Amino acid sequence: MNSSEIEQLTDELIGEAVLSLLKENGPISTQALIRRLKVMESKEPDVRRREMLVRVIAEISSNNLASLPRGIPGERPEWDKDTSDNVYPLFGESKQSGGSKKH
């Protein structure tokens, strides 16, 4: 199999998994995708597709682990500490000055 065939099969398998999650109105997350791919792997009769599912699951799992924050175990990230407000300022804490509109 050449690289373009591998990429196409990978895209098809991930697409099938995502579509099945969408049809069930299930949550769309990395973990849900991995679970669905594992179910697909267990039921797949085609050896080539089954082997590719194993690769896809491994790649997504390793990417998911690599993206986890590297903080102190059990410590919540700074943006998640204040539960009274779900808005996190992206550009500092400053408020707009004055009541005059600029536009």
pLDDT tens track for 31-81: 999 999 999 999 999 999 999 999 999 999 888 766 555 555 556 655 555
The 10 Å Cβ neighbour count of residue 37 is 22
- pLDDT at residue 2 in the model: 81
Please give the structure tokens belonging to residue 40: 């697909």
| Residue where the block lists tokens 């099938």 | 16
Q: Is the Cβ–Cβ distance between 56 and 36 less than 8 Å?
A: no
Opening angle at CA 15, ends 39 and 4, nearest 5: 110
Confidence of residue 1 (pLDDT cuts 50, 70, 90): confident
- Please, what are the domains in the chain? 3-66 (1.20.5)
Average pLDDT, the chain: 80
Residue 14, pLDDT > 80, answer: yes
User: What is the helix (H) or strand (E) element at residue 35, kind and residue range?
Assistant: helix 30-43
- What is the helix (H) or strand (E) element at residue 6, kind and residue range? helix 3-23
Q: Answer whether 0.75 is exceeded by the pTM.
A: no
State percent of the chain over pLDDT 90: 49
